[in-house]
Amino acid sequence: MIFQPNHQPIPQTTDTTFRTTTRFALLLSVALALVLALAPAALAQRSIVHFFVVPASVAAQKLPALNDFLVQTAGGFTVSRSHGASRSSAGRRIRLDNWSYTVAADTDLSQEIMDYLKAKCGLPSVFILVWEAERPGL
């Protein structure tokens, strides 16, 4: 404090107080910027998406077990009927009736799904597509 001739103290900010406050404000600003920059990445979750088809000719009694397997292995699934067409090796058009499954999981389960479909559903081969996706907001 500095005293004037009439002996009234005048408060004075020290240089140390100013530097401490400035450092704290700067540190707080950097921390806030990091939180705002990283929040979307923290909220988004990466998933591996598996899309595969099961021919409608697979016995209906095998589908509930497949559905249970997908719930236990991946946590869930989405299924819908799908229709398509293809050409046989002889060049004839073949109508395709399928169950189309979409499964999102934290890891690649394509080998497990293919093994299950071959062993439990009797499929000689499996059409499966796998890709990485982002699930924002989770």
Q: Encode the chain (138 residues) as per-residue pLDDT tens digits.
A: 555 566 666 555 556 666 666 666 665 565 555 455 544 544 468 899 999 999 999 999 999 999 999 999 999 999 999 999 989 899 999 999 999 999 999 999 999 999 999 999 999 999 999 999 987 766
pLDDT of residue 126: 94
Topology, domain 45-135: Alpha-Beta Plaits (3.30.70)
Residue 84, both tokens:
């398509």
Distance (Å, whole) CA 51 – CA 1: 75
Task: Answer left, alpha or beta for residue 122, where phi above 0 means left and psi between -120 and 50 means alpha.
Answer: left
Question: Pick from 116, 120, 122, 106: which is nearest to 70 by CA?
Answer: 116
* Extents of the domains making up the chain: 2-42, 45-135
- Cα 129 to Cα 48, 85, 101, 104, 126: the distances in Å are 10, 18, 10, 12, 10
